[in-house]
Every structure is written in structure tokens, then in C-alpha cells.
Structure 1
Amino acid sequence: MPSLTGEPLTTQHFIMDADEGKRNKNIGKNFMSRLQCMFSHSSGSESRLSLEDTQQWSQSLERLLESKYGLATFRNFLKSEYSDENIEFWLTCEDYKKIKSSFRMSSRAKKVYEQFIKAESPKEINIDYHTREQIKRNVKTPSTHCFDDAQKIVFGLMERDSYPRFLRSDIYRTLLENLAADATKG
């Protein structure tokens, strides 16, 4: 059977594949350990990363984002693809909606606009011209709903594009495999 390069597969190819498998398992274990260390100080129902919780991430993007481990893993995946502006914008909008002070809201709305909405901004998100112009007007007299339309668009983009790629990614699959192996060990 030929390899992807067209040359016949040798014992060396299988050794390399086995080494890569070991490397992926180690990467998965290391990532799992880092995730648990990140959240070891927090308390609550989700104190340990479990196979069941991790499997539930595949049910919906909402389910993934509701999990502190899921969110951290998804962000890590997007950063590895250099495409984390959408999740960063979505999270920024969630924080923005919690602002009570009109002064802080005005200041923060301008920063969000400059960072994510304005054409050629550092983390420009992919939204249509009409939405961009509407937000430009909204920022002049901001409310908690100033970025809602853009946030919905970005969520839809993540749901249709990034999220399915994440579910097929080595990060997610290796994490599931490691948790399943740990569960069978008992």
C-alpha cells in the first residue's frame, strides 16, 4: 500500500505513525492536565473534567460554551488556527451586556467598536456592511443591545464553521480518547 507521497509504506512509516499516536496521547494528557490546573482553584459542579461532560460538547455550540472546560478548549483550538476573533468578540459582548454604568458602557462600546467592528480593526469580525453601519450609529448612544446583531452573526459563523472543525479536531478527539481510557482504568 503506498503512502500519501506515493512511496511504498515501510516499517519506518508505521513506527512514525505509532510515535505520532503517542505524541497525540501525550498532548491530550498534557492539555487535560493544563485545563484541570487552570480551574483547580474554582469550586462548583464542574470541578473535574469528565468524559460525559466532554461528550456533551458535541450536542451544540451552546453546550460547549456553557462549560468552562469546553470554552477553554474551544478558545485554545481557535487560537491554534489563528481565528479566535469571533469567540473573543462573542465573550466581550457577553461581558458588555453586564455593564450597568452608562459612562462605562459608552467607553466600553467605543473600545469594542475600535477592536472588532471598525474596518481594518485589529480583530475585525466578518459582518455585513449594514450591520457594521448600524453598530457605528449605536455606539454614539450605546445600550446593552448595541452589539446584539453582530453577536448573532458571529455565533452563527462559529456554529457553522469553527464548531464543526473543532469537533473533528485532534484536540477534541484526543481529549475524548484520553478521558475514555481513564474511565476504563477506573
Structure 2
Amino acid sequence: MPDPKDPSRIVTTTTTTTFSMAKDMARSICQRFLDARFIESADGKMQQVYTMKGSVWQLTPKGVCVLDRFCSRNGIQQRQISDLIALGMSYLCILERDTQTDKLVMDRGTMEVIFRRMIGTNGLNIKSSVGAADSDSLSDYRDGLTGVKMASERKINGRTFKDTFTGKSCSDWLMDCCTTVDRRETFEMGTLFVQYDLMEPVQQDRVYMASQPGAVSFQPTKTAVYQLTVKGRDIVTGGTGRGRTSESEGVVTSRTGIARDSNTQRLDKILNDAALRLLFRENLRETHCEENLSFYLDVDDFVKACRSAIKQATKTPSATSMDGIKEIMAQAYGIYNAFLAPGSPCELNIDHQLRNNLATRMTKAVGQDVTMIDTLHEVNTLFEDAQNAVFKLMASDSVPKFLRNAKYEHTLKNYDFDAIVVGGRAPERSRSQSNRK
């Protein structure tokens, strides 16, 4: 807020809330941390139950990654955090979640991206013996790049199968190398791998199926054994895949005549495809500008909620509807403090005048209820202006770098980006276009 004694100065007030909990609740939360693979026993032994006595615990590489992302987003820079992160992090696959239900986004394209990672970024993770492939070692997937453990040969019912892996190994990889927080999420993903014809069972766990009638396609046990399908191998080796093409109107198949403005349409395609968004975010993180996409998507959610709250408060004014307005205003301050305020932890590179306009509006005291609705209209407009600025920056700078990155070649070849061409200048994005999923 402006300093009452000197309006040219901004005073930041920080409120720290402390709380306590019962011991049983604390133990339950620690168990959730263990289940989510954020922590592990420091003695190197697999332990599935959190005990308060006689045990020493440490963060897993996955836990360090999660902590690093949280600290970066919130501007936490204590030395002990950087010392911990310096010990090493894994290459964590950041999965999207539905903002309303918190369920993982599991469309076919996203599942193919995850499957390719699981099978191995640097080739198959072949073990010389079945015992080595089915071991419970905590260090199997610490770098996040090593694929699921496979037995070079496995005999089942008199037949020999090559390069097979168990349902448990599949579930373990998904738990250790992705932002999954519950084993049930890995079961659902394994089921989709089978249903999308990426892997197939060569031996099912009948006992598990009898106890879990829904586990027809995938069983997360050592007894259940799987292998790549022809389609799965194509996805991993960069074969034909799905052969997806551009859905944009007026496309051509030639590289000639591609206008510079076509990058805005390429970015539209990326933002509207969950699998591409996952890879694009990864590329932005490597080039230290992930905050652009995070801000863009946060504003999308804000605009949608803002319009709904204003409509409700205008149509049926009440204490409840005004509470909704106040909640949206709080969300606006959260976005402003994270991305737009001077010195914010994820400060965006936007026009100086726009930044000043935002600072003036966001640091001005909010008055009565009617004034608050007017203020929210102004904030919504300014946020959309900032979102458009970030969109243009990503289109001109980040999209070309992403499309040139050889690491994503296997996935990007299934999207006909080169066919996107705009006649003349690309049309200016309207406010209605900016609110997309």
C-alpha cells in the first residue's frame, strides 16, 4: 500500500500465520509425504510406514525438486535451501492438474509424452537378470532420466520374452519421476498405457485382479509383466506415432512464405494441447522463463473466475456474492505479488508503463462494495493487457527456441507446425481469445 506519509513510497506488510496440530495429524501428514515419495528412510532401506521413533528421514530427489519449485515461486532464498538443492535434484516430469478437481490431465498426447519418458530418455534400462529388474532399490530412478527397469529376458509359461517390466516397476517410476502424489494416480496412468496400446500384458496378476475387480488392464505388482507394443515402440523410437497435424484453418504444407506472425498461431496450438504445454513448460524452465507460462495460465483462471463473480454480484447482490468478489480480489493480489510487483519472486518482463499502471491500481486502497466491483473490472483489463504482452513475448522468443530443441523432436514431428502460415499480419488477439484452456 502507499505510505500514508509519502504516497510515492510503497509499504509492504507481511503477515505470518503460525499454527499447531495434534500429533496424530502430524504423523498422518508425514505418511502422506512418504507415500508421495517426497521423503525416504536415510538408511537406504525401503520403508512404507512413517515411524516417529528410531528412524531418520531425508528428502528424495523428487522432494528436493518440489521444494525448489515452491521456493522459487514464493521468493524463498535462505541459504540452507540452496545448499540442499546443490546436493542434486532429479529431472522431474511436471504434470498438469485440473484447477477445479486437482485431477491429473491424462489426455492421449500427455500420456504418450510420459510413456516415452518412462521407457527411457537415453535408451532402455535393461537389467541382466530378472532379480535386478525387480529389485526395490531406492536409487533406481534418482536422476529422473533413467527409464523403467527391464529384464533382458524373462521366461513365462515356457516362452521367453525380451525387454519386459513389471507393473510394480512401472508404478514406481511414475511415483518417483513425476509429480504424482498418490499411488492410485499411477494405477490409472498404467491402465491408460494399456488402453492406448502403448504396452501390453504378457502375464497378469490374477490374485490382484480378484481383489481389485477394476484392475483388468493394469496390475501394479511384481507378478504382472508387460512389454512394449509395436505402437509403443514407435512412440519411443520416433516412428509414425499418431500422425497429428495442424487443426488451424488455411494451412499449407510448404515451408515457403511462412510469416513471422505464424509464431502466434503456433503458440495458440501449444497452449491448447496439454502434451505440448507440458513440454513447452519444461523448455521454458530450462531457459529460466517458466514464469511467463505460469502467469499466462493463472490469468486465464483469474479472468474466468472474475467474470463469473462480477456477473453473480451484479445479478443478485448479497453478502455471499460480495464474499466471492473479495475472494477474487485476493486472487488478483496473489498474482500481482507473485509476478508483477517490483521485486516479486517471478517478476515478468513487461512494458514499464503497463507495470506502473498495475502498481498504481493494485496499491490503491479498495473502498466500498460497488467500488470493489469497478476496481475488479480495471484489474481484469490490466491483467489481460499484461497477459497479451507475455503472449507476444513467448511467441516471438520462446516458441522458435522450443521448436528447434532436438530433445522434443519425437513429439513435435506429430504436429505440423510448418504448415501454419498467416496471410499478412496476424490479427490482434481479442480479450475473448485470451481466455483459453
Partner of residue 281 from structure 2, selected from 75, 82, 85: 75
- Whether 1:130 aligns to 2:321 is no
Q: Give the Cα–Cα distance (whole angstroms) in 2 for the partners of residues 69 and 28 of structure 1.
A: 20
SS in 2 for 1:52: coil
More helix by share: 1
Partner of residue 156 from structure 1, selected from 392, 401, 411: 392
Partner of residue 111 from structure 1, selected from 329, 334, 338: 334
Asked whether the 8 Å contact 1:89–1:116 carries over to 2, the reply is yes
Q: Give the Cα–Cα distance (whole angstroms) in 1 for the partners of residues 271 and 404 of structure 2.
A: 17
Larger deviation: 144-153 or 85-94?
A: 144-153
Q: Which residue of 1 aligns with 2:297?
A: 91
Q: Give the Cα–Cα distance (whole angstroms) in 2 for the partners of residues 133 and 142 of structure 1.
A: 17
RMSD over aligned CA atoms reads 3.6
CA-to-partner distance for each residue in 1:59-78, whole Å, 9 max, x for gaps?
A: 61101110011111111111
More strand by share: 2
Asked whether the 8 Å contact 2:267–2:399 carries over to 1, the reply is yes
Structure 1 residues 116 and 28: CA distance shift in structure 2, 3 A: farther
SS in 2 for 1:126: coil
Q: Which residue of 2 aligns with 1:18?
A: none
CA-to-partner distance for each residue in 1:46-105, whole Å, 9 max, x for gaps?
A: x8995433x549861101110011111111111122210100110110011121231121
| Structure with more contact order per residue of length (Cα contacts < 8 Å, sep ≥ 6) | 1
SS in 1 for 2:350: coil
Asked whether the 8 Å contact 1:56–1:64 carries over to 2, the reply is no
- Structure 2 counterpart of 1:83, one-letter code: C
Q: Give the Cα–Cα distance (whole angstroms) in 2 for the partners of residues 130 and 95 of structure 1.
A: 25
Asked whether the 8 Å contact 1:28–1:171 carries over to 2, the reply is no
CA-to-partner distance for each residue in 1:23-56, whole Å, 9 max, x for gaps?
A: xx9428879x979x99949x9xxx8995433x54
Q: Give the Cα–Cα distance (whole angstroms) in 2 for the partners of residues 123 and 75 of structure 1.
A: 15
- What is the number of residues matched between the two proteins? 148
TM-score (ref. length: structure 1): 0.65
Q: Give the Cα–Cα distance (whole angstroms) in 2 for the partners of residues 61 and 81 of structure 1.
A: 17
Q: Give the Cα–Cα distance (whole angstroms) in 1 for the partners of residues 404 and 283 of structure 2.
A: 11
- Structure 1 counterpart of 2:297, one-letter code: L
Q: Give the Cα–Cα distance (whole angstroms) in 2 for the partners of residues 83 and 51 of structure 1.
A: 30
Mapping 1:1-186, distance limit 5 Å: 26-27=120-121, 40=189, 51-53=242-244, 56=246, 60-99=266-305, 100=309, 101-139=324-362, 140=364, 141-143=375-377, 144-176=380-412
Which runs of 5 or more structure 2 residues have no equivalent in the other structure? Answer: 1-118, 124-144, 149-173, 179-184, 199-234, 236-240, 248-262, 310-323, 365-374, 416-437
Q: Give the Cα–Cα distance (whole angstroms) in 1 for the partners of residues 271 and 243 of structure 2.
A: 15
Q: Give the Cα–Cα distance (whole angstroms) in 2 for the partners of residues 63 and 89 of structure 1.
A: 18
Structure 1 residues 51 and 120: CA distance shift in structure 2, 3 A: farther
Asked whether the 8 Å contact 2:338–2:344 carries over to 1, the reply is yes
Structure 1 residues 27 and 132: CA distance shift in structure 2, 3 A: same
Q: Give the Cα–Cα distance (whole angstroms) in 1 for the partners of residues 402 and 246 of structure 2.
A: 14
- Percent identity, aligned pairs only, is 27
Asked whether the 8 Å contact 2:403–2:412 carries over to 1, the reply is no
Asked whether the 8 Å contact 1:90–1:154 carries over to 2, the reply is yes
- Structure 1 counterpart of 2:300, one-letter code: E
TM-score (ref. length: structure 2): 0.30
Structure 1 residues 61 and 28: CA distance shift in structure 2, 3 A: farther
